[in-house]
Structure 1
Amino acid sequence: MSQIKDSIKKLVDRFKEDEARLTVKSSTYQETEVRVEFIDPLFKLLGWQMDNASGLSSSLRDVLREESQQTESSTKKPDYTFRIATKRKFFLEAKRPSVDIRISKESAFQVRSYGYTAGHDIAVLTNFRTLRIYDARLQPKAGDAADVGLLVSIDYEDYVSKADYILKTLGRDQVASGSIEETFKSTSSGDIPANASFLNRINSWRVRISQDLVSRHPQLTINELSDLTQKIINRIIFIRMCEDRGIEGEYVLRDVAQKKSMLELRALFKRLDDRYNTGLFDVSKDRLQDNYELDCNVFIDIVDEVYAPNSPYSFGVLDADFLGQVYELFLGQQLILKSDGSIALEIKPAYVHREIVTTPQPIVDEVVDRVFKSKFYDMKSSGLLTLDSINSLHVFDIAVGSSRFLLKAFDELIEAAIECLISQGDYKHLYRVAENNYKLDFAVKKDVLRNCLFGCDIDFNAVEIARFSLMVRLLEDETKDTLPPVNHKKILPDLDNNIFYGNTVVDSEEFSTTSEDVLNKTVPFNWVLSGLPNNFDVIIGNPPYIKTEEMISDNQEEMDYFKRHYRTAYKQFDKYFVFIETALSKAKSDAWIGMVVPNKWITIGSGKKLREILSKGGFVSQLVDFGNEKIFDGKSAYVCLLILSKDGVTDFHYRYVNDYQRFLLSPQELGFSLPTDLIRNVGGNAWVLPNDQEEAFVLGRLTKNSTPLSELIDVKNGIQTSANDVFLIEDYSINGDYIDFVKDDISWSIERSITRPYVSKSSGVISYLPINADALMIFPYEMSERGTPAPIDPEVMRSDYPQAMIYLEHYKGRLNKRKVSPPPKPGVFYAYGRHQALDAVFSYPKIIYSVNQKGGKYALDSIGVAYASGGTAGEVALFNPVKGYSLEFLLGLLNHRAIEFYVRKRGSPFGGGWYARGSAVISEVPVPNLNILGSQKDKAIHDDISTNVKALMTNRQSMKTSSGRAYDKLLLKDRSLLNSLEVKFNSIWGFTDEIRDLRLPGENEN
């Protein structure tokens, strides 16, 4: 550190010697000079590679300079972009020392706009004389003073004394370790993030433009209004981005808007169509060009909102990734025309069952990066990585949305082309922008976009947005100097033959219906007539996650099609299953596939056929499982990154992520290498995968010489009344032979003998304590002549349980609305919704456990308590152990940390470290094989554990009624009994200290 301070002092002294000349307003000392002589050396001392001495490609460099630093052209982009592992962390804007940035409102607004638009935490402004760090989360507003949003301001004379702070905050290694987030986490402004703010602004434009158009042209349909409005908004954004990049002149759009002439506006669109040929300004497709008019005052009001000081956004920084995130949310809503003629926004039907969120950019980047690394490695190994071979790759986004995956794919292709040309010494398609920094000619980039990138989406608006976003990306690094001359026409490709409107997973050749409504909802796609390539080299995307019941509700015909055409459409499958199957069918023999999908397919029963396909083909190359980490803001979808090789692999990598923030520090880590035979041997059964060697050891010991729990005990789900609000009594009092309670503000008294004890709240299920029956369940059943439960006859109900019958008849309307299976006899309106478990639910002794838990919720029932099961909630019970195993032994087993580890690996994750372990999961718990009935040694081991559990249960009961030193004494005994139990099971499995050090899924690192 002393060397860094010494070097900083030399910079400071040198600046101080010449300060008077450098800071005078009339100084000729330029921004370029202060960057080279002072700013670059300062940040180099902080660990940043300012000159790219290592010769890294632009995709890997820490610091990106704005090209205007070399050309002095007028672009409105930040001077420096500081990055970690390709992720932008902050912008720095440099000014001449003669600009007093301490009072310059314009300079502060500029750098804050850059940071705010990019969604950064901070933005840095410096002229070396002063270093200022701003809160980029605070939305810039017109007229803000220079100190608004200011977090830190340091004068150059204090650089040495505050060197520790500067290094801690802005040092390269420190930023990589999260210093910015840690230092400024408590200073959040509370403002709406830029992407959400921009979406709000766009949605306002949608409504205002549509309202004006429909008032002038009432014959327009809502779809026509939506399409026309979106095109106008895209044009505004496109022109502003071109302006701030120096591609178009400044204020081109505003100058035309202020003329308040549709003729002038149409002339501008015609000129831009001639120049760019994007389809965005296509006169032949543009009904605004000749059929419809927009109020010029509405238009100019909106245009004013995209220029400072009315806009907090920098359109020079606002890139395709930002737009992709905004438009991803945009696509969840649609315009509607209300009965009073007003326009409003509502959630699209396809999104009703889904939360509208955006995929985090690091997840998009990581999926695409992993796929292309694999593909390029294959090509390089075969000597086929050339510009021509790159240009012939076919990349397909299977559910393109706003095209964010294709945007990243485009970046990967461009970087690969640059590296390939440099390695071959071929510079004719490259131009130099800085030392060791080259970029690809625009014409070659254009060819890559047109030849390589394809996508499809069922949402027409998504298709338009995807095409638009790709055009924006193509122009992103370009300036007027790097584009073809102004007299060149049609400089951008038409992407109509790249991005298609249709349903990727429904082929029109095989989908037949006479319903126009079904066709409009399904949008079957004709692969042959589309002209899309037959197969692809790379397939990527984030397909829709839609459950079976939602698919049936939304579109039964599409659901029937899936059942007929897809192996993975099995039981309660999710829609993303068929997208994975489609990707495999559309992939070339040496293709790579990368997707973001929920992780439940790894273990759930309905994922059996998908697992069979993936394991049999050996397709899984990488699997990054985020467990119960919430990746999507506000959305309870637990996902994984799935990387597939169509050629098959002999080994694959599995990485389990306990902490998403830690993952972001090293996202590229592959994880634990496993032989493909491991999952090939398991096939369609649930995959329980180790994350490291320690986990592999534990799982191996648990499953070796074991028997699944379901072979040793009955596993039964609970009752299902389909009307717990009627049958369940939670707050009651016992009044002799009657139960008194209040339901819906009415007092009731029914026969006690028709009720049964019931566990309503999972809080009543605690390991090593008796089950707590916290409610009663009305049970209108009796044993039939066949020895099975049957509903009590209505006449018997009226004679033997008249008060209960009066109560049930009060709710007859509610009960008759249920679907009851099997259908009961006439008059038996009070039968439960399902007949399941009625023969066993009240029997005892048994173990009752909560399905969704963190562990420690397995209780012994010795009085016959009823319970209910439902999906990932409620309780399940274990009855009638065989082969000499006792309930106490199995209770101890289920509470062991090693078994909790197994159950979490096998079960389904939920938020907060909760894991569901339904009957299918618990059935597979490995029980150590003990010959209890035939071996005295094994019987002694078993009985010793059972005795230990009984002692533990007795002690826990005593603890409930103890206090003071008596409680402390029992607590010590409890710990001793638990430790003894752990040691005894560990001895069976051959564990020593492995289990105590084992981190369970859902437990974050300390």
Structure 2
Amino acid sequence: MADSPPQITDLIKKFEQNIDSYRNQAYGEAEVRVEFINPFFEALGWDVTNKAGYAEAYKDVIHEDAIKVGGTTKAPDYSFRIGGTRKFFLEAKKPVANLKEETGPAYQLRRYAWSAKLPLSILTNFAEFAVYDCRLLPKENDKASTGRVLYLTYKDYVARWGEIAAIFAKQAVLQGSFDKFAEAGKGKKGTSPVDDQFLAEIEGWREALAKNLALRNPKLSVRDLNFAVQRTIDRIIFLRMCEDRGIEPDGQLLALLNGENTYKRLHYLYNLADDKYNSGLFHFKPEKGRAEAPDELTLKLKIDDKVLKDIIRRLYYPESPYEFSVLGADILGNVYEQFLGKVIRLTAGHHAVVEDKPEVKKAGGVYYTPAYIVDYIVKNTVGKLCEGKTPKQISGLRILDPACGSGSFLIGAYTYLLNYHRDWYVNDGQQKHTKEIYQGSGGQWLLTTQEKKRILLNNIYGVDIDSQAVEVTKLSLLLKVLEGESGETIGKSLKLFRERALPDLGNNIKCGNSLIGPDFYANQQMSLLDEEERYRINIFDWNVEFREIMMAGGFDAVIGNPPYVRIQGLREWAPLEVEHYKERYQSASKGNYDIYVVFVEKGLSLLNKGGRLGFILPHKFFNAQYGEPLRELIAKGKHLAEVVH
């Protein structure tokens, strides 16, 4: 058993000698953090105050008490990280608090950690130290002991130091002991991961909204119904996440529970958001220079108060288990990836039903790309292209995901670029780059809103055949722009630059079939295709949609997880496309090919001479007959740099 270090013995003595003053209501949370909690975790090997001077992305500990809304903290006090990845949260309280019995602090901590999908987190005021399994769905009436897997008082620290250090010392976390301890408690009754829970939540909203919109708006087409439902959900999630991040006034959606005409009052918030953000999400009026037409549909529709109020009520304490300030882009992406696997249909009597998309049914479900795979591919494509370059040199990089889905790869690429730029500016001398970076609370360096917008519009591009996926990708990227922002920074941007907070992504993220260009109609008579078929085929002309990039030679990086659909399945709902791929693509010329081989060929053709492609694919094309043409294409072009199996 490890001996406790002398500084722990000193902390305990100090606490005992002045216990009455420390347990006085006047002794605050900030003091206990500086005097006791920080040195406690320094004794466990954590660089709590960043004495090593690490770049922002690699700090051991982030003090996330910066987001305060109406006096309430909207983020946990500490986030402990390894290599920039969160491992556990710590929530600090005054020593006067009774952590063993009080339910509020435990519920707060568990909501944070559960929403961030962290298995364990700590609640402490130094006098008490409690560890919680945060995979259990937090409920308002839970006891303080629910999910608690370890409880100690300061008198136990010396005797049980070995136990504490074996799990929470930095070295133990690096060596995997923390993960082993967390894994041992996995799968307990009552565990429900946040992404599964939130998916069930928004699927319930979709069904309720679809049925109500179809009932109250009998002339609504199936396409418009899908659009209206998706937009309503996206807008509500966006506004709620902005509230918890301190960008929107706290409780503004909650206020809609009082009174009637909920949807009309929601319009008012939408219009305020349009003035503030400029994103396509709230684009209702024609504006010069906008890439896309305004939404002239949704504000004319009718939605019953009850449906909207039921949704809003589930977004707030006490009914909501979610803390939107810590709900990560990867979690939201996973939820939406699954969500997009279903579509709303209308029956003959104009009733709405939700069904699996045919391609999802054939594939046996939706498969989300794990974050570590996204990070690996981004690092080995975008990362390699950025090495040793200045922001000015990087500004010309064009990064594409040709089947972007919910946007996980584009979020990964954008995050990499944001971190690279911030670290470059800090290392080059902060005083030289006041237009690009500023120091936020807690001393951390952040990119300005202007700079984040510039990087996004310059570098990130995506295409998807599904218009709803395109909107979700935009939503995810816009929420990424707003990370670290506050009402104050957004207000400054409006005042100083006379610019709204978010970019219009209509020219960057587009809807269409990446594999089918206008030559499709050279062999097909358009008059023989009905509107639904043309909409399904959804041709995409790369030379028109991304004219400047294609004229300059193509994209610098093509990344992603293309769809895997065998041709036998595709024939059932897209027979014309199947024949076109066979005629148009070398990779589709042999046997019962899978659509992903066509995406590889197309991706390679979209790259410029020095470009890099990174896809995650099934390995079957290495030895299957249908993979022969693709293997030949890769070999002849000397395209292969690395295979990770």
Q: TM-score, normalised by structure 2?
A: 0.91
Match of residue 632 from structure 2: 612
Contact 2:3 2:161 in 1 (8 A): no
Q: Return the letter of the residue paired with 1:347.
A: D
Alignment of 1:777-816 (within 5 A): none
Q: Is the 8 A contact 1:277 1:490 kept in 2?
A: yes
What letter is aligned with 2:438?
Y
User: Alpha-carbon deviation of 1:325?
Assistant: 0.7
| Aligned equivalent of 1:358 | 368
- Following the alignment from structure 1 to structure 2, what is the Cα–Cα distance between the partners of residues 290 and 470? 24
Which of 386, 390, 396 aligns to 1:392? It is: 396
Q: 1:412 to 1:182 in 2, by over 3 A?
A: same
The alpha carbon displacement at 1:13 in A equals 1.9
Q: 2: CA distance between counterparts of 1:496 and 1:526?
A: 15
Question: CA shift at 1:60, angstroms?
Answer: 2.5
Instruction: Using the TM superposition, name which of 425-434 and 124-133 deviates more.
Output: 425-434
Paired AA for residue 473 in structure 1 = K
Aligned match of 1:189: 188
Structure 1 length as normaliser, TM-score?
Answer: 0.59
1: CA distance between counterparts of 2:11 and 2:623?
60
The structure with more strand, counted as a fraction of residues: 1
What secondary structure is seen at the aligned counterpart in 1 of 2:633? Answer: helix
Q: Report what 1:520 is aligned to.
A: 535
Q: Structure 2: how far apart are the matches of 1:100 and 1:593? A: 55
Aligned partner of 2:414 in structure 1 is 410
User: Amino acid of the residue matched to residue 344 of structure 1?
Assistant: V
Match of 1:323 among 328, 332, 338: 332
- Report the residue type matching 2:437 in the other structure: L
User: CA contact under 8 A between 1:46 and 1:172: conserved in structure 2?
Assistant: yes
Secondary structure of the structure 2 residue equivalent to 1:500? strand
Q: Is the 8 A contact 1:97 1:127 kept in 2?
A: yes
What secondary structure sits across from 2:9 in the alignment? helix
Equivalent of 1:177 in 172, 175, 200: 175
User: Equivalent residues in 2 for 1:475-514 (5 A)?
Assistant: 475-485=482-492, 490-512=500-522, 513=524, 514=526
> Are the counterparts in 2 of residues 134 and 149 from structure 1 also a CA contact under 8 Å?
yes
User: Does the Cα contact within 8 Å between 1:463 and 1:500 map onto a contact in 2?
Assistant: yes
Change (3 A) 1:71 1:502: closer
- Following superposition, the deviation at residue 339 of structure 1 comes to 4.6
Shift of 1:112: 0.6
SS of equivalent to 2:381: helix
Displacement of 1:569? 1.5
Tell me by how many angstroms 1:455 deviates: 0.2
Pairwise CA distance, 1:433: 3.5
- What corresponds to 1:212 in structure 2? 212
Matched, 1:332 2:336: no
Q: Find out whether 1:401 has 2:405 as its counterpart.
A: yes
Q: How does 1:808-827 map to 2 (within 5 A)?
A: none
One-letter code aligned to 2:413: A
CA distance in 2, matches of 1:602, 1:222: 41
Q: CA deviation at 1:72?
A: 11
Give yes or no for contact 2:95–2:127 (8 Å, CA) kept in 1: yes
2:321 is equivalent to residue 312 of structure 1:
yes
Secondary structure class of the residue paired with 1:280: helix
Q: What SS does structure 2 have at the residue aligned with 1:416?
A: helix
Asked whether the equivalents of residues 390 and 417 of structure 1 are also in contact (C-alpha less than 8 Å), the reply is no
Q: Is 1:347 matched with 2:356?
A: yes
> CA shift at 1:100, angstroms?
2.3
Q: For residue 275 of structure 1, what is the aligned residue in structure 2?
A: 276
With over 3 angstroms needed to count, the CA separation of the structure-2 counterparts of 1:67 and 1:588, relative to structure 1, is: farther
Change (3 A) 1:353 1:196: same
CA, structure 1 residues 290+186, in 2 after alignment: closer, same or farther (shift >3 Å)? closer
Instruction: Report SS of the residue matched to 1:352.
Output: helix
Q: Corresponding residue for 1:168? A: 166
Query: Which whole-Å CA distance do the structure 1 matches of 2:583 and 2:379 have between them?
Result: 35
- Equivalent in 418, 425, 435 of residue 421 of structure 1: 425
User: Does residue 1:551 correspond to 2:555, yes or no?
Assistant: no
Counterpart residue number, 1:727: none
Q: Retained in 2: the 8 A contact 1:562–1:569?
A: yes
CA contact (8 A) 1:52 1:436 kept: no
The residue number in structure 2 matching 1:294 is 303
| Residue identity matched to 2:235 | R
Whole-Å Cα distance in 2 between the matches of residues 586 and 161 of structure 1?
63
SS at match of 1:592: strand
Which aligned pairs between 1:433-512 and structure 2 lie closer than 5 A?
Answer: 433=440, 437-485=444-492, 490-512=500-522
Q: 2:642 aligns with which of 622, 637, 648?
A: 622
> Equivalent residue of 1:92, what SS?
strand
Structure 1 counterpart SS, 2:515: strand
One-letter code of the match for 2:273?
A: L
Structure 1 residues 156, 569: CA separation in 2 closer, same or farther (over 3 Å shift)? same
Query: In the TM superposition, what is the alpha-carbon distance from 1:73 to its structure 2 partner?
Result: 7.2
- In structure 2, relative to structure 1, the CA distance for the partners of 1:69 and 1:154 (3 Å cut) is farther
Q: Which residue matches 2:289?
A: none
Per the TM alignment, residue 2 of structure 1 is displaced from its structure 2 partner at its CA by 5.8
Taking the aligned partners of 2:453 and 2:314, their CA distance within structure 1 comes to: 31
CA 1:264/1:205 → structure 2, altered by over 3 Å: closer, same or farther?
Answer: same
Report deviation, 1:249.
1.4
- Distance between the aligned counterparts of 1:67 and 1:430, measured in 2? 20
Match of 1:53 among 51, 54, 76: 51
Q: How far is 1:359 from its partner?
A: 1.6
Offset, 1:178: 2.9
User: Residue 51 of structure 1 contacts residue 435 of structure 1 at CA under 8 Å; is this kept in 2?
Assistant: no
Which structure 1 residue ranges, 4+ long, deviate > 6 Å from structure 2? 69-73
| 1:135 matched residue in structure 2 | 133
CA distance in 1, matches of 2:425, 2:213: 51
Q: Which runs of 5+ in 2 are unaligned?
A: 286-293
Residue 583 of structure 1 and its aligned partner are, at CA, apart by 1.3
Which of 532, 556, 560 does residue 579 from structure 2 map onto?
Answer: 560
Q: Does 1:122 align with 2:126?
A: no
**How far has the Cα of 1:121 moved from its partner?**
1.2
Aligned to 1:622, the other structure's residue is in SS state coil
| CA distance in 1 between partners of 2:308 and 2:441 (Å) | 41
Separation in structure 2 between the aligned mates of residue 227 and residue 365 of structure 1, nearest angstrom:
31
Higher relative contact order by CA 8 Å / sep ≥ 6: 1 or 2? 2
Segment drifting more, 510-519 vs 311-320: 510-519
| 1:399–1:313 distance in 2 versus 1, CA, 3 Å | same
Contact 1:52 / 1:435 at 8 angstroms: preserved in 2? Answer: no
Contact kept, 8 Å, 1:114 with 1:123, in 2: the verdict is no
- Compute the displacement of 1:413 (Å): 0.7
Give the superposed CA RMSD: 2.2
List runs of 5+ in structure 1 lacking aligned partners. 626-1006
Q: Describe how 1:664-683 pairs up with structure 2 within 5 A.
A: none
| Secondary structure of the structure 1 residue equivalent to 2:612 | strand
Partners of 2:317 and 2:621 in 1: CA distance: 49
Match 2:89 to one of 83, 91, 114: 91
The percent of aligned pairs where both chains have the same amino acid is 34
1:138 CA drift (Å): 0.5
Matches within 5 A, 1:786-935: none
Q: Structure 1: how far apart are the matches of 2:315 and 2:451?
A: 32
**Does 2:597 correspond to 1:597?**
no
Tell me how far 1:551 sits from its aligned partner: 2.9
**2:56 alignment partner, SS class:** coil
